[in-house]
Amino acid sequence: MEKNIFDNYEALSVFAAEFIAKEIHQKREFVLGLPTGSTPIGMYHALCELHQLGKLDFSNVKVFNLDEYIGIDRSHPQSYYSFMTEHLYSRVNLKPENIHIPSAEAGDLAVECALYDKKIAWAGGIDLMVLGVGANGHIGFNEPADKLMSPTHVVELTRRTIEDNARFFEDVSCVPVKALTMGVGSILKAKKILMLISGKAKQQVARELLSGYITTKNPATLLMLHPDVTVMMDKDAACED
């Protein structure tokens, strides 16, 4: 696991975007796994800037998002589809058919989950999976638990995650309590992983991630099993002044 620490969030975001651009440039067709949340917003902004400057072409990039809420429509302003449309899809030259996000509107969610993993496999697997991490160690919406699901599946969100995400909704009672998420296995199948960690609230999770101990109580620690993970964090997350 390679660790990079940046002075601040802006530097982290720019370096993350440059890392992704470099990977995309190495392959004619590229499959990119993507997160939502506050952490990657700066990175998306930097990716869009590279695109506007003519330095990054998305025409041969397929994207697969990690997760989506169940219980709100795609058109809801807080759906992950809306988030991605605002921060990336509408700002770069991704082909509509190359945009993938699990659909909570599918009639049969179990079928949708199985199909999602198949679509990733049909695309050739994820070349680079970009991840954020929850303050409780969740990746995607794989919450701390005794057992974790490997494939894409339906999850119940923990109280902590619901409260963390309440900042985006009118109040906590409006936050969806379930979601569709890539499983830990779907994530670990990616050829390469880039994890972004920002802010003091993530210090403990960052420490555990680099501790050498693996536990399903902090799903991010499972990344230690992967041979090619780069962790980029700002000084706040790294406990450095």
User: So which residues are the catalytic ones?
Assistant: 67, 136, 138, 143
Figure out which of the listed residues 51, 62, 87, 138 binds ligand F6R, where binding follows CB under 6 A.
138
Among the listed residues 234, 238, 237, the one whose alpha carbon sits nearest the alpha carbon of residue 6: 234
Would you count residue 140 as binding ligand F6R (CB under 6 A)?
A: yes
Minimum distance of ligand F6R from residue 131's CB (angstroms): 6
What CA–CA distances, in Å, run from 16 to 9, 30, 161, 178, 218?
A: 10, 17, 25, 29, 23
Q: Is 144 in the site for ligand F6R (CB under 6 A)?
A: no
Q: Is 152 in the site for ligand F6R (CB under 6 A)?
A: no
CB 1, CB 197: distance < 8 Å: no
Residue 29 or 86 having the CB closest to ligand F6R: 86
Q: What are phi and psi of 69, to 5 degrees?
A: -70, 150
List 38, 52, 59, 75, residue binding ligand F6R (CB under 6 A) = 38
Residue (24 or 184) nearer to ligand F6R, CB:
184
- Regarding 37 and contact with ligand F6R (CB under 6 A), the answer is yes
- Tell whether residue 127 is a contact of ligand F6R (CB under 6 A): no
- Which of 113-121, 138-146, 214-222, 225-233 is the region at the interface with ligand F6R (rule: CB under 6 A)? 138-146
39 binds ligand F6R (CB under 6 A): yes
Shortest spacing between CB 239 and ligand F6R, in angstroms: 17
x/- map, 8-27, ligand F6R, by CB under 6 A = --------------------
Return the range that interacts with ligand F6R (CB under 6 A); candidates 34-42, 44-52, 94-102, 229-237.
34-42
Which amino acid makes up residue 30?
A: F
Angstrom CA distances, 130 to 75, 89, 139, 170, 177, stand at 24, 16, 10, 28, 24
- Distance of alpha carbon 115 from alpha carbon 135, whole angstroms: 30
Binding site for ligand F6R (CB under 6 A): 35-39, 66-67, 132-134, 138-140
